């Protein structure tokens, strides 16, 4: 089975968001499970090779906006594996972000396939989000023999552009009978084209696959998506167990594990609950909090995005509860209104609220390891990774029952879920969680252990993707 995995970011070479982590982990896991998978993406100016040697494969030209553009195709190997990665260089369109980047990239990738510049022909093209949404359209327009899978990581990022861009790509609107576009606005929606023309579509959690069929979550596309629902599936993302591990995390001083460790490590490994307590004490000292095992330490890690992440629910809750009974550490940046509000709260309650407005990966690890609970009150969450990472570190998530949060957490068993998007519901669930932590240590410790040993790895997700690939190859 041969698969070309198309992305625009790939950790650690170039990363903007969570897709970079997915692109690093999923193909690598699929590769270890016997899939002949290769990655392709742009070679931006900001792309860091990290001492990986590149090999030039081909130099060729593509016509865009009636001009020939020089393309250089390189191959690298993915760090510690033999997984091939192809990077595409073009100074005009693929060097820095611009409105033509993704249409141009999609056109170039199909050209590479059509001309067999890789000297390797995939059976399946695995596209991701609106960035690659025109690839299934071009493949159908040209009647090429590839099966396409489109993964939707976030339906709200739709990639609308002027229909005139198609002319730049050499696509004649009069002859492209598979195209849909908004005539009045003269717009094309790249994600919509991908959904319509991909052979199969998946979201990054089963619940989100159902949610996008509704007006609340459909981002204006729900009626069209309903017509395509027979080909839409949901697969929950995983997390990288090698990099997300309290046993190995280099950002931690005190390492611990849920089970007995037989391997030798150059540092001491603590039992689960002792390790959690030591990391909590360390974090309390670092933040200038009172060091006490009797005060619950609660974290939040995420963007200050009131449209998705529920930061306003936390702020409303803070205005009602007795903050002196809790310790909160908030790590995030984003909307200036909420940055200013949390800065003010942290300055007024400096022994109970710590706000860090710039993301710090070392501190993030210490929050995962040191906190008792992590707040994830999202309005919607296609998948979510922080709740899984928290569980891996034995920190119980308190999350809204939506998308991947609902699929990855079992309420009262390995975390806590609340239904309504309400600060009152968040507060109620927080107090319930703290009551268990204070009054029923046996249940609390049982939940922590269940969270840590739960299989949230990419292995399970990869098997489901392989099933989808097989379904694609048997699809007529």
Q: What CATH code is carried by the domain that includes residue 28?
A: 3.40.50.2000
Residues 356 and 467 placed together within one structural domain of the fold: no
Within a domain: 249: no
Residues 350 and 223 placed together within one structural domain of the fold: no
What's the whole-number mean pLDDT along residues 195-203?
97
Residues 272 and 217 placed together within one structural domain of the fold: no
Under the banding of pLDDT at 50, 70 and 90, the label for residue 47 is: confident
The domain containing residue 123 runs over which residues?
2-238+460-474
Under the banding of pLDDT at 50, 70 and 90, the label for residue 80 is: confident
What's the whole-number mean pLDDT along residues 210-227?
95
Within a domain: 244: no
**231/45: higher pLDDT:** 231
Within a domain: 219: yes
- Please, which residues have CB within 8 angstroms of residue 365's CB and are 6 or more apart in sequence? 249, 251, 252, 393
Residues 32 and 181 placed together within one structural domain of the fold: yes
- Please, which residues have CB within 8 angstroms of residue 215's CB and are 6 or more apart in sequence? 222
Residues 207 and 61 placed together within one structural domain of the fold: yes
pLDDT of residue 17: 79
What's the whole-number mean pLDDT along residues 140-165?
94
Q: Based on the structure, what is the number of domains in the chain? A: 2
What's the whole-number mean pLDDT along residues 197-208?
98
Instruction: Please say if the pLDDT value at position 404 is more than 90.
Output: yes
Tens-digit pLDDT profile for residues 233-279:
999 999 998 889 999 999 999 999 998 887 889 999 999 999 999 99
Residues 193 and 316 placed together within one structural domain of the fold: no
Residues 333 and 434 placed together within one structural domain of the fold: yes
Residues 142 and 191 placed together within one structural domain of the fold: yes
Tens-digit pLDDT profile for residues 95-115:
988 999 999 999 999 999 999
Instruction: Please say if the pLDDT value at position 55 is more than 70.
Output: yes
Residues 183 and 216 placed together within one structural domain of the fold: yes
Within a domain: 243: no
Within a domain: 204: yes
Residues 227 and 317 placed together within one structural domain of the fold: no
Residues 228 and 277 placed together within one structural domain of the fold: no
pLDDT of residue 184: 65
Rounded Cα distance between 239 and 133, Å, is 25
Within a domain: 245: no
Tens-digit pLDDT profile for residues 175-196:
676 666 665 678 889 999 999 9
Within a domain: 248: no
Residues 180 and 259 placed together within one structural domain of the fold: no
For the chain, give the percent of residues with pLDDT over 90: 84
Tens-digit pLDDT profile for residues 326-360:
999 999 999 999 999 999 999 999 999 999 998 89
For the chain, give the percent of residues with pLDDT over 70: 97
Rounded Cα distance between 427 and 225, Å, is 35
Within a domain: 441: yes
pLDDT of residue 18: 84
């Amino acid at each position: 089975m041969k698969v070309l995995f198309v992305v625009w970011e790939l950790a650690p070479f170039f990363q903007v968001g969570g897709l970079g982590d997915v692109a690093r982990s999923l193909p690598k896991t699929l590769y270890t499970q016997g899939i002949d998978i290769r990655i392709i993406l742009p070679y931006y100016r900001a792309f860091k090779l990290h001492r990986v040697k590149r090999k030039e494969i081909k130099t060729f030209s593509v016509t865009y906006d009636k001009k020939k553009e020089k393309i250089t195709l390189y191959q690298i190997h993915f760090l510690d594996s033999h997984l091939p990665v192809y990077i595409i260089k073009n100074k005009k369109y693929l060097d820095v972000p611009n409105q033509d980047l993704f249409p141009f990239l999609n056109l170039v990738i199909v050209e590479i396939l059509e001309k067999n510049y890789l000297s390797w022909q995939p059976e399946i093209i695995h596209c991701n989000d609106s960035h690659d949404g025109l690839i299934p359209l071009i493949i159908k327009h040209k009647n090429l023999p590839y099966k396409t899978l489109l993964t939707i990581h976030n339906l709200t990022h739709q990639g609308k552009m002027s229909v005139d861009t198609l002319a730049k790509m050499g696509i004649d609107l009069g002859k492209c009978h598979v195209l849909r576009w908004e005539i009045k606005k003269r717009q094309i929606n790249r994600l919509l084209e991908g959904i319509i023309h991909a052979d199969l579509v998946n979201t990054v959690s089963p619940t989100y696959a159902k949610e996008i069929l509704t007006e609340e979550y459909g981002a204006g596309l729900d009626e069209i998506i309903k017509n395509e629902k027979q080909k839409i599936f949901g697969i929950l993302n995983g997390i990288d167990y090698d990099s997300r591990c309290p046993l190995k995390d280099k950002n931690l001083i005190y390492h611990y594990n849920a089970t007995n460790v037989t391997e030798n490590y150059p540092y001491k490994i603590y039992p689960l609950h002792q390790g959690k307590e030591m990391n909590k004490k360390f974090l309390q000292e670092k933040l200038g909090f009172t060091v006490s095992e009797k005060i619950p330490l609660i974290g939040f890690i995420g963007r200050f995005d009131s449209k998705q992440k529920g930061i306003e629910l936390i702020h409303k809750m803070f205005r009602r509860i007795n903050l002196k009974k809790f310790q909160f550490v908030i790590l995030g940046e984003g909307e200036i209104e909420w940055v200013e509000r949390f800065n003010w709260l942290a300055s007024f309650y400096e022994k109970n609220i710590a706000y860090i407005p710039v993301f710090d990966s070392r501190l993030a690890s210490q929050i995962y390891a040191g906190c008792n609970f992590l707040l994830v009150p999202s309005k919607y969450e296609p998948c979510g990774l922080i709740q899984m990472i928290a569980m891996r570190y034995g920190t119980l998530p308190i999350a809204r029952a939506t998308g991947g949060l609902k699929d990855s957490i079992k309420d009262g068993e390995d975390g806590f879920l609340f239904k309504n998007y309400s600060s009152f519901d968040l507060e109620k669930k927080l107090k319930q969680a703290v009551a268990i932590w204070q009054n029923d240590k046996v249940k609390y410790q049982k939940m922590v252990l269940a969270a840590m040993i739960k299989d949230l790895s990419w292995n399970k997700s990869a098997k489901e993707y392989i099933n989808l690939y097989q379904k694609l190859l048997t699809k007529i």
